[in-house]
Chains A and B, each alone.
Chain A
Amino acid sequence: MTPSASPEQKRRARALDVALVLWPSFLAACAASLLFFAVVDPALLRDAGPRLFAGLEREAGYALGFIFFWGVGALASALSVYLIRTERSAAGRTGPGAP
């Protein structure tokens, strides 16, 4: 983004960053939950996991697992976005690899 960007453009850019963090991580969390819970029964966490999970219902296990995967994915996305945005040559770039 050029320094001369209007407040509206800055707001749009911020909204885009939030979307770029939340959306791919959401898709990744869907895939991760599907694969993980196909193999692992969340009731295992309650029965064999740390005391933290005592009394955990299966439904809660699924939901917490999904939120956890989403969070981890969002962290990765956020780091990617941060690294791209703070790159020196990122100013005014128009596409991947632009000078």
Chain B
Amino acid sequence: MSLAPLRPLPASEPSAGSSFYAAAEKIYPREISGRFTRLRQVAVVALLGLFYGVAWLDWGGHQAVLFDLPARKFHLFGLTLWPQDFLYLALLLIIAALSLFFFTALAGRLWCGYACPQTVWTELFVWIEQWTEGTRSRRMKLDRGPWTAEKLLRKALKQTLWVALALWTGFTFVGYFTPIRALGAGVASLSLGPWSTFWIALYGLATYGNAGFLREQVCKYMCPYARFQSAMFDKDTLIISYDEARGEPRGPRRRGTAARALGLGDCIDCTLCVQVCPTGIDIRKGLQYECIACGACIDACDGVMDKMGDPRGLIRYTTEHALHGRATHLLRPRMVVYAALLLLAGGALAYSLVTRTPLILDVIRDRNALYREVSGDQIENAYALKVINLDDRPHTYRLVVSGMQGLELTAPSEPITVPPGSVSNIPARLDAPAARAGGVHRIALTLAAVDAPGISVRENTRFIGPSP
């Protein structure tokens, strides 16, 4: 990083009324290196690696993570979830929301700075931009300059890479919802169905538009979280802040000169913190909702302070309490409440997953007749059974009836075998002696796997005989 060509930026602070309609100035984030930038690079590589990689993982004969919408079942490694398991999805979403609240209250906008897809893909698109069009100053010069062959070439290369990456992202995304290898074969042979093509195109377009074109405008104008995250903040939340007491009055000075002797603060007004900001704000004006807490300004300022021979941390992660010389409390009522709710939801999810029975029995009474008299003074009721095996392997089940004396199962007489992840419709008949069958009886059908202990479900239904 060189300090030479820096000029203070012209103050661009549109009045509150017109700022909403003011043309968004294109932001050219300056390349930067430092602790938080490295942390984000690690997060980008890890998260995108997971996204692009996990789609290709196999697990026990099927894609490891597949939200198989055409077949209406979700594979999550060893676990197969069905629409009936919607509870888990709901719990998972609640846990995700609570985690967001918890970490926001604890350390501010960690999500925005390191994990949000908008940040992660924008970072990737910016890397491509820097690789094809060069550093910040070269990009600005290139955009101002005439359309030379070099400009055309660089822009074309950037757009080609962007479009290819966007399409690959769309393809991978759709690959989480329909088996990705079949999808790949469909793309390779140009025989993709219209809806898969539609979703790939839509998601590719969204990636290109959000990460290549809109970028920080998504955070500033489109993101609901950016607007309400401050509700989770308090004076003990970690924020990125400029130490005004130490920095002001700002002003340029030579390296090695003592700021105080010149009547100045430590800020040399190099505006590097503004130039590296992906949302184009000046952190020295205080905390703003546009700040995505990426830490780029900290890295920039630390570098400058190192060069000036001053201690780091003029811009740093801190809390409002710490800035005002008070103690920061980690354990606050809001943290305890968020943590307790998080534990509760996590516990509920874990408990329901552990105690989940991979078997569903639906019992529907025959709609045509309440009962039938059969030979030997017997009363018969007919039922339609729907047996759903939610497990990953086939199971054989035996049906047992209870709740009424003399009640016997006449069909099915054989154990029921259901393939993995399948539904079997089984007709069932129950007989009881006419002498005992009068009226309505509450009975229970119990279906238990004979080849696995613990898989058993009990369904209540009615047995109806002639009115006594």
A interface with B by C-beta (< 8 Å): 1, 5, 8-9, 12-13, 16, 19, 23, 27, 34, 37-39, 41, 57-60, 62-63, 92, 94-95
Contact = CB atoms under 8 A, between A and B. Distances in A.
B69 A13 contact: no
B351 interface: no
Contact of A58 (B70, B198, B199): B70
B70 A94 contact: no
A40 to B, nearest CB: 9
A38 B195 CA distance: 19
Contacts of A13: 21
A42 B179 CA distance: 19
Contacts of B221: 16, 19
A55 to B, nearest CB: 14
A60 B89 contact: no
A62 B198 CA distance: 12
B206 to A, nearest CB: 9
Contact of B195 (A12, A23, A37, A63): A63
B22 A12 contact: yes
A58 B195 CA distance: 10
Contacts of B20: 16
Contacts of A41: 72, 83
Interface string B66-86: 000110100000000001001
Interface string B90-121: 00000000000000000000000000000000
Nearest to A23: B222
A57 B70 CA distance: 9
Nearest to B18: A9
A94 B195 CA distance: 43
Nearest to A98: B17
Given A41-B72, A41-B83, A9 B22 contact: yes
23 contacts: A9-B21, A9-B22, A12-B21, A12-B23, A16-B20, A16-B221, A19-B221, A23-B222, A38-B86, A41-B72, A41-B83, A57-B195, A58-B70, A59-B69, A59-B70, A59-B178, A59-B195, A59-B196, A60-B195, A63-B195, A63-B198, A63-B199, A94-B16
In this complex, the interface size class of chain B, counting residues with CB under 8 Å from chain A, is 20 to 34
Nearest to B178: A59
A12 B24 CA distance: 9
B468 interface: no
B193 interface: yes
Nearest to B221: A19
Secondary structure call for the B interface:
loop
A5 B21 contact: yes
Sorted nearest first, the 8 A-B pairs with minimum C-beta distance are A59-B195, A94-B17, A38-B86, A9-B21, A63-B195, A12-B21, A58-B70, A13-B21
Nearest to B15: A94
A59 B21 contact: no
Contact of A8 (B23, B193, B224): B23
B271 to A, nearest CB: 26
Contact of A59 (B23, B83, B89, B193): B193
A95 B20 CA distance: 10
Interface in B184-208: 193, 195-196, 198-199
Given A38-B89, A63-B195, A58 B72 contact: yes
B244 to A, nearest CB: 27
Contacts of B224: 27
Contacts of A63: 195, 198-199
Contacts of A62: 69, 195
**Residue of B20, B86, B196, B199 with most partner-chain A CB within 10 A:** B20
B88 to A, nearest CB: 11
Contact of A16 (B21, B195, B198): B21
Given A5-B21, A41-B83, A19 B195 contact: no
Nearest to B24: A12
Contacts of A38: 83, 86, 89
A23 B218 CA distance: 10
A14 to B, nearest CB: 10
Given A5-B21, A9-B21, A16-B20, 18 more contacts: A1-B21, A9-B18, A9-B22, A12-B21, A12-B23, A12-B24, A39-B83, A41-B72, A57-B195, A58-B72, A59-B69, A59-B196, A60-B195, A62-B69, A62-B195, A63-B198, A63-B199, A94-B16
A63 B86 CA distance: 20
A39 B87 CA distance: 11
A72 to B, nearest CB: 18
Contacts of A19: 221-222
B218 to A, nearest CB: 9
Contacts of B195: 57, 59-60, 62-63
B14 to A, nearest CB: 11
Nearest to A92: B17
Contacts of A60: 195
Nearest to A95: B16
